[in-house]
Amino acid sequence: MSSPNSPARLGDLATSRTRISRRDMTLPGISDNAANRRALIRLPNGRTVSIRTGDRLGTDGVAAIEDGRIILQRKSSAVALTFPPR
């Protein structure tokens, strides 16, 4: 049995086809390597996953990872998820 925080379990959560509430997600960090840019997303259940452009986050696709924000695409709507205010 895998632990709830195992990489396989987190990958399952991040790539499930269920709808994840965008307003309940936070963006704690983005890697600084532009060639292989990744973002950390804290999901509503408190778990944190690492994503890159092209990955799926529930029903959303990760359209872009930019300085200070990511762009999530769901059908014809897009929304930016930015760093939380300090």
The pLDDT assigned to 72 comes to 93
Model confidence pLDDT, tens digit, residues 26-76: 899 998 776 789 999 998 888 899 999 999 988 889 999 998 899 999 888
Instruction: Please tell me which residue, 8 or 45, carries the higher pLDDT value.
Output: 45
What is the number of other CB atoms lying within 10 angstroms of the CB of residue 60? 22
Q: How many structural domains is the chain composed of?
A: 1
Which domain does 30 fall in, by range?
7-82
Residue type, 13: L
Task: Identify the CATH number of the domain in which residue 32 sits.
Answer: 2.30.30
The pTM of this model reads 0.69
The amino acid that residue 46 corresponds to is G
Q: Does any domain span residue 43?
A: yes
CA distance 52 to 35: 11
Is residue 84's pLDDT more than 80?
A: no
Residue at 48 is within a domain? yes
With a cut of 70, say whether residue 11 has pLDDT above it: no
> Is 2 part of any domain?
no
Answer yes or no: is 39 within a domain.
Answer: yes
**Residue 29, domain member (yes or no):** yes
Confidence of residue 16 (pLDDT cuts 50, 70, 90): low
Q: What is the pLDDT of residue 1?
A: 43
Query: Does residue 1 form part of some domain?
Result: no
Separation between Cα atoms, residue 58 and residue 33, nearest integer Å:
25
Sign of the CA dihedral with 24 first, then 39, 73, and 55 last:
negative
Nearest to 68 by CA among 86, 56, 54: 86
